[in-house]
Amino acid sequence: MIRHGSAWQSLAFLCLCLLLLAVVLMGHLALRGLDGKNQETSATMARVERKIQQLESGIAFDSKRRHLLLGMRNHIARVNARVSLRDAYRYAELALEASEKYPAVEPLLLLAIGIVESGYDPVARSRADARGLYQIWPSTGRLLLRALGWDYDDSALYDPEKNTEAAALYLDILFSTYRDPQMVLAEYNGGPLNAGYLRAGVGPLAPETRDYVPRVLALHARLQEEFDQGTDLPPEAAPGEVEREGTTLAGAASAGASGPRRTLARRGTRPVR
């Protein structure tokens, strides 16, 4: 009887130990499950926070881009009173898109070049036969447009889209060569010989290039300061929202691509060599 009772006690003790072990294992598994859920919840919250940050960043970027675009439009419309708000917006949009495609080319630098080069007249033509918004020589334009996959003809450089992207590509090439805005502008305006003179500090710069480089740089600096401080925009939003076709800031009809060519007293951009 004693042995029999002892065996049952041992068996009961063993069962109790097994039960406690099972409870411990179940508790451990439950804790691991809770920990896994917590990690999953944390990961989900992190993803949500990243998406919110991306959304906020995207909203801020779109707002900044729109403000820059409208500010550039206003400058173009002011410098050329004959251009409609719709066309001014388009020229600004082309410049901004080109600068996004070629990050070495700042949009405000492109704006400054367009203002100085042609006063944002898409049909401007210099005595040296430089053409369009950014005053590109036909020989230079032929190479640039072919590099961009476009056919070249006599009217190609009067196309704002082609002229803008060709100018941005040319500036991107020059920045990869010089990495110095003064050198870039010297060659853009006066060709590699003038850029060489400027780099070496010898030889006479062409009078136009000597005036052109500081003029563009000074205008670019003013534009940067203005946009950094915040440009006050008029009530007009993007073209087409409040504007009738042909309306300008000056109240005149847009000259458009069909207007008379304006001859500029400048040398023009020399061809790429």
Architecture of domain 52-264: Orthogonal Bundle (1.10)
Amino acid at 64: K
CB atoms within 10 A of CB 170: 24
Give the Cα separation of 204 and 188 in Å (integer): 17
Q: Beta-strand (E) ranges in the chain?
A: 125-126, 263-264
What is residue 237's predicted lDDT score, i.e. its pLDDT? 47
Least confident of 87-101, 159-173, 189-203: 189-203
Which pLDDT tens digit goes with each residue over 194-218?
666 566 565 566 667 778 999 999 9
| Confidence class for position 250, pLDDT limits 50, 70, 90 | very low
Question: How many helices (H) and strands (E) are present in the chain, helices listed first?
Answer: 7, 2
The pTM of this model reads 0.65
Q: Which residues pair with 248 in a beta bridge?
A: 84
Pair 148, 169: CB distance under 8 Å: yes
Which range among 98-107, 191-200, 215-224 shows the weakest confidence by mean pLDDT? 191-200
Given this model, what pLDDT does residue 197 score? 58
Q: In the block, which residue shows the tokens 């203005």?
A: 226
Asked whether residue 4 carries a pLDDT value surpassing 80, the answer given is no
pLDDT above 70 for 265: no
Does residue 42 have a pLDDT over 60?
A: yes
Is 105 in contact with 168 (CB distance < 8 Å)?
yes
CA 53 to CA 263: how far, in whole Å?
51
- Name the one residue in this structure whose structure tokens are 């790429």: 272
Does the pLDDT value for residue 235 go beyond 60? no
Question: Which residue, among 113, 116, 115, has the nearest Cα to 76 in the 3D structure?
Answer: 115
The pLDDT of residue 62 is: 73
- CA–CA separation, 222 and 234 (whole Å): 20
Delimit the domains of the chain by residue range: 52-264
Query: What pLDDT score was predicted for residue 22?
Result: 80
What's the pLDDT band for 178 if we cut at 50, 70, 90? confident
